[in-house]
Amino acid sequence: MFLRMSSDSPHAVTGERPVAHLVAKDVLIEYPTPGSDLITTAVRDCDLVLDRGDFVCLVGPSGCGKTTLLNAVAGFVPLSGGTLELDGRPIPGPGPDRAMVFQQPNLLPWRSVLANVTYGLELSKKVNKAEARSQAADLLELVGLADVAQKYPAQLSGGMQARVNLARALAVEPEILLLDEPFAAIDAQTRELMQAELLRICAARDVTALFVTHDITEATFLADRVCVFGPRPGRIVKEIQVPWGRPRSHDIRRTPEFTALSEEIGDVLYSAIAEARAAQLEGAAR
């Protein structure tokens, strides 16, 4: 992974490795199966490291545990084993240093676009109402929605609602943005536009991003690294470095290098699925 250090950084001079922003080590997540005494293992032996400013995508088959890991980083799901640390400290639960962006915007229909973005600030009570409105207005400018601040969610397209959803998450000034397939419910053209917008916004706000997706080309376009999950119990079977810097233009999608990298990610994913199925069949035959 890249260490984003300037030449005058003390770590650059001494060679000392700074504390990673987010570290998952040997993470185990289990939960009881409803209606039985069985325990389901969602994630096992999962290791992941993010430095500040990283954009990492998690790809894998449905039900492999990648969203469960994301929820654990958010503090919504407890660990059954292993450790999760943010800046060297255990993650005890939800906190304002992390913000979640879900697939469905779930905007409050009775509040205007501006009021939806100020909602988190109002709950935190870190700023007064005037400052919350000012910050929300700046964010709507950033995501290109300043002209619809007084409209309501029902008056917006799916892509516009996704932008409001992103602005609302950024309003609390998180250090890590956790995104669970945030563009899955919008059309393909708008989705590609939103991907480029997300990269621009993350650069402007200097946030670290952990992004879950089923779409291999989306991961290839967005990520600094793509972490491929195998079938449940989920673990990262391979990390693949993406060689291009950010920001990125849509032209990169038309290059042979982009196609080759997407195919490499797909090959790793489908091989992991095939190996898991073969192991299941072998176990059933015994």
What are the residue boundaries of the structural domains of the chain, listed by start? 10-97+175-285, 107-173
Structure confidence at residue 284 (pLDDT): 65
Q: Residue for token digits 């400018």?
A: 141
Query: What's the CA gap between 227 and 97, in Å, rounded?
Result: 23
Q: Where are the beta strands (DSSP E) in the chain?
A: 22-32, 39-50, 55-59, 81-86, 89-90, 98-101, 176-180, 208-213, 225-229, 236-241
CATH 3.40.50.300 fits 10-97+175-285, yes or no: yes
Structure-token pair, residue 189 = 């053209």
pLDDT in tens, the chain (286 residues): 333 333 333 333 344 556 789 999 999 999 887 777 888 899 999 999 999 999 999 999 988 899 999 999 999 999 999 999 999 999 989 988 899 998 888 899 999 999 999 988 887 777 888 888 998 999 999 888 899 999 999 999 888 998 899 999 988 888 999 999 998 888 888 888 889 889 988 888 888 999 999 999 999 999 999 999 998 888 999 999 999 988 888 899 999 999 999 999 999 999 989 887 877 776 666 6
Q: 107 has which bridge partners? A: none
Query: What's the CA gap between 8 and 28, in Å, rounded?
Result: 39
